[in-house]
Amino acid sequence: MSEDFQVTHDEAKHRYVITVDGEEAGFANYVPEGAGRDFNHTVIDPKFRGQGLSGKLIKAALDDVRASGGTIKATCSAVAGFLEKNPDYKDMAV
């Protein structure tokens, strides 16, 4: 698994994007809701699956929301699953 990944926030498209070695590997879409974000869809390109990238992407996205004092809603099953496995993020959920 490549450790050379980066997560960026594309505010214009309401998504967080993960790149691996400079290539887009996936994204997590959200709908802005006041100070919060409703994460509604997460996709990892089939070429990059099985590397744990969705967890890294979701963690980085939630860390960014937490840093801004926002809340999250997890209508995406991947984000909901992340919250179940990482209870330290549940305080952000509405």
Q: Express each pLDDT in 1-10 by its tens digit.
A: 456 899 999 9
Check if the beta carbon of residue 49 is closer than 8 Å to that of residue 20.
Answer: no
pLDDT band of 17, cuts 50, 70, 90: very high
Check if the beta carbon of residue 31 is closer than 8 Å to that of residue 15.
Answer: no
pLDDT digits (tens, 9 = 90+) for 32-48: 998 899 999 999 999 99
Q: pTM for this structure? A: 0.94
- Protein fold of 5-88: Aminopeptidase (3.40.630)
Q: What is the mean pLDDT of residues 64-83?
A: 96
The reported pLDDT for the residue numbered 90 is 93
| Long-range contacts, stretch 20-24, CB < 8 angstroms, 24+ apart | 20/48, 20/51, 20/53
Question: What percentage of residues in the chain have a pLDDT greater than 90?
Answer: 94
The reported pLDDT for the residue numbered 1 is 47
Residue 49: pLDDT over 70: yes
Q: Is residue 2 helix, strand or coil?
A: coil
Strand partners, 35: none
Annotated domain spans of the chain: 5-88
